[in-house]
A and B are shown apart, each in its own frame.
Chain A
Amino acid sequence: MAKIIVVTSGKGGVGKTTTAAAFSTALALRGYKTVVIDFDVGLRNLDLVMGCERRVVYDLINVINHEGNLNQALIKDKRVENLFILPASQTRNKDALTLEGVTSVIGELKERFDFIVCDSPAGIEHGAMMAMYFADEALIVTNPEVSSVRDSDRIIGMLASKTLRAERGDAPIKEHLLVTRYVPTRVSNGDMMSAEDVQEILAVPLLGVVPESPDILRASNSGVPITLDEKSEAGQAYQDAVARFLGENRPMRFLNVKKHFFSRWFGG
């Protein structure tokens, strides 16, 4: 039976889709059969970041409406074995995500995959609720700034009250905090909240810190999940996070300002 992971944040533009793409790719690279679902109906993006936008025929809503079956809608990644993408529809709105429809799609995927990664839309409306409803674990993507932290807090509250696990009274969703777009120099200047601050306010275990990186924009624009770029620090940070997610013990990297060779030399 698959484990269902929701990638959520409340706020938009913090890196949910980047994280969903990176995380699912890294899981698949490790041999887990993984599907990543775009729940952002009407604002389809995941296919672009995954680089499969020209192969979309059927989408999640088609499957829900029985206009196509799951096999037709699932796009197999060309680079990574075991990785599949279920794209959102660009021409519908979130109301097309019916609970019955999502239930049957998730139910079918659960039999076939090890991990189901749900890329949530921003906001706290229906689309976001559907993305989190069946989750077993949640990646809370937060930028080190106050508005993102507050929105994440709101979402964490909903994970604990508006999901299937909450309604059934099952064990709560396991939450993981992922601080993205982190700039250690700005943290040490006092311009940016530290990962520690964010973690203290949200009181959720820190899974990883992803540094702000020009590689991410380049990767998104070229449709390559950042975890496929082994040289990128952001990619390595995501690899670390996935390793921790799977129970490995890895020290936190990218938290502190890198010391320049000469400053180290001169004890600066």
Chain B
Amino acid sequence: MNATHTHTSTPALELKGSRLTTLVLHFYRTDNAAIATELKEKVTQAPSVFKQAPVILDLRAVCNDAQTLDISFLVEILRGYGMLPIGVRGGNTKLNSMALAMGLSLLADVKLDRFSQQNQSLGIEDESPVLAKLPPEPQLAPVKIIDHPVRSGQQIFSAGDLIILSMVSPGAEILAYRHIHVYGPLRGRALAGIKGDVSARIFCQKLEAELVSVAGQYQINEDLQPDLLGKAAQIYLKEEQLCIEPF
């Protein structure tokens, strides 16, 4: 009876990939006391941000330090502040096994390859912890400029900035890794920073969007403040909160 039931009904689960933004804690020293002090400072600045927040520990800078970072101490202190450490990245064998023992997962470090390549080209030893702190090479993001209306059902994507000189209709979708500028009415969906760039912004001359999103934080039309509708506005992230301000 049960078996036939499960066959005919809709599936109980479905596996889907999803991209989400999480906090990443980068460690540059292995000193427990120093870490505890600095962490306390950060948390007291904005306690709400860290409540129930999933956190990834980035160990790239300290994986070759003589003194091993005390992962179990870190996990304990983070949980004490309400954070949820979920995994580590950039660790060595020893750090990774400690993390696994604490029930954390090992996450692939996407930027690692680029870092080591950069190090080699600079002729600097891979071990230097300072290097991990260097910003990645500045890359010129491509800009896409659209001079015609983006109609319902159309989707425009830019791997850098996206500039729309015309209108964006309801049912249209514009997406960019970085900023979005719309010089006509914005009536469709606009998603900036879709790869997690929290500094991305949306600028528009006439805000009537169905949905606006920056780095995964979104707001639907119904939740937009009525006094902002139809106005020129910019949308950006401030402490992980989506801010919509008139110009």
How far is it, in angstroms, between the C-alpha of A161 and the C-alpha of B151 when the chains are bound? 11
A residues near B149, Cβ cutoff 8 Å: 156-157, 203
Is residue B135 contacting chain A, with contact meaning CB distance below 8 A?
no
Q: Are A157 and B153 in contact (CB under 8 A)?
A: yes
Instruction: Tell whether, in the assembled complex, residue B171 and residue A153 are in contact, meaning their CB atoms are under 8 Å apart.
Output: yes
Q: How far is the CB of A191 from chain B (nearest CB, A)?
A: 20
Which one of B148, B166, B169 lies within 8 Å of A153 (CB-CB)?
B169
Which A residue sits closest to B187, measured CB to CB?
A201
- Does A160 make an interface contact (CB < 8 A)? yes
Considering only residues 116-158 of chain B, those with a C-beta below 8 Å from chain A are: 148-154
- Is B151 touching A160 in the complex (CB atoms < 8 A)? yes
Asked if residues A201 and B169 are in contact (CB atoms below 8 Å), the reply is yes
A150 engages B167 (CB within 8 Å)? no
Are A150 and B171 interface neighbours, CB within 8 A?
A: yes
Instruction: List chain B residues, Cβ under 8 A from A161.
Output: 154
| Nearest chain A residue, comparing its CB with the CB of B148 | A160
Q: Is A154 an interface position by the 8 A CB rule?
A: yes
Interface size class of A (residues with CB under 8 A): 10 to 19
B window 156-170: CB within 8 A of A: 166-167, 169-170
Chain A proximity mask over B155-191: 1 for CB below 8 Å, otherwise 0: 0000000000011011110000000000000010000
A150 touches B152 (CB 8 A): yes
- Alpha-carbon gap, A130 to B151, bound state (A): 20
A129 to chain B, nearest CB (A): 13
The number of A-B residue pairs with CB atoms under 8 Å apart is: 35
> Given the complex, which residues of A lie within 8 Å of B152, measured CB to CB?
150-151, 153-154, 157
Q: CA separation between A207 and B191, bound complex, in Å?
A: 35
Shortest C-beta distance, A123 to chain B (Å), equals 13
In chain A, positions 176-223 with a C-beta closer than 8 Å to chain B are 201, 203
Q: Which residues of chain B are near A157, meaning CB under 8 Å?
A: 149-154, 169, 172
Chain A contacts for B153, CB-based, 8 A: 124, 153-154, 157-158
Contact A150/B170 with A160-B148, A203-B149 known, Cβ cut-off 8 Å: yes
For B184, give the chain A residue with the smallest CB separation.
A203
CA distance A157 to B151 in the complex (A): 5
Q: How far is the CA of A163 from the CA of B76 in the complex (A)?
A: 63
CB distance from B30 to the nearest CB of A (A): 57
* A118-172 residues at the B interface, CB under 8 angstroms: 124, 150-151, 153-154, 156-158, 160-161
Q: How many whole Å from B1's CB to the nearest CB in chain A?
A: 42
Give the distance in Å from the alpha carbon of A156 to the alpha carbon of B150 in the complex: 10
Contacts of A154 in B (CB 8 A): 151-153, 171
> Complex formed: what's the CA distance from A164 to B150 in Å?
20
Could you tell me the distance in whole angstroms from the C-beta of A239 to the nearest C-beta in chain B?
30
Q: Scoring B residues 73 to 88 as 1 if CB is less than 8 Å from chain A, else 0, what string do you get? A: 0000000000000000
A151 to B150, CA, bound (A): 14
Return chain A residues, CB-CB under 8 Å to B150: 157
| Pair B171/A203 contact, Cβ less than 8 Å | no
Alpha-carbon gap, A232 to B153, bound state (A): 37
- C-alpha spacing A207/B65, complex, angstroms: 75
Nearest chain-B residue to A10 (Cβ)? B152
Q: Shortest beta-carbon distance, A70 to chain B, in Å? A: 35
Residues from chain B with Cβ under 8 Å of A201 in the complex: 169, 187
Residues of A within 8 A of B151 (CB): 153-154, 156-157, 160
B167 — nearest CB in chain A belongs to which residue?
Answer: A203
Q: Name the residue among A158, A161, A201 with the largest chain B CB count within 10 angstroms.
A: A201
- CB-CB under 8 A from B170, the residues of chain A are 150, 153
Q: How far is the CA of A203 from the CA of B148 in the complex (A)?
A: 11
Distance in angstroms between the alpha carbons of A264 and B175 in the assembled complex: 54
Residues of B within 8 A of A158 (CB): 153
Bound complex: CA A201 to CA B149 (Å): 10
Q: List chain A residues, Cβ under 8 A from B169.
A: 150, 153, 157, 201
User: Which of B149, B151, B154, B187 has the most C-beta atoms of chain A within 10 angstroms of its own C-beta?
Assistant: B151
Which of B's residues lie within 8 Å of A, judged by CB? 148-154, 166-167, 169-172, 187
Query: 6 closest Cβ contacts across the A-B interface?
Result: A157-B151, A153-B152, A154-B152, A154-B153, A153-B169, A157-B154
21 A-B residue pairs with CB within 8 Å:
A150-B169, A150-B171, A151-B152, A153-B151, A153-B152, A154-B151, A154-B152, A154-B153, A154-B171, A157-B149, A157-B151, A157-B154, A157-B169, A158-B153, A160-B151, A161-B154, A201-B169, A201-B187, A203-B149, A203-B166, A203-B167
Excluding A124-B153, A151-B152, A157-B169, 19 further A-B contacts by CB distance (< 8 Å) are A150-B152, A150-B171, A153-B152, A153-B169, A153-B170, A153-B171, A154-B151, A154-B153, A154-B171, A156-B149, A156-B151, A157-B149, A157-B151, A157-B153, A157-B172, A160-B148, A161-B154, A201-B187, A203-B166
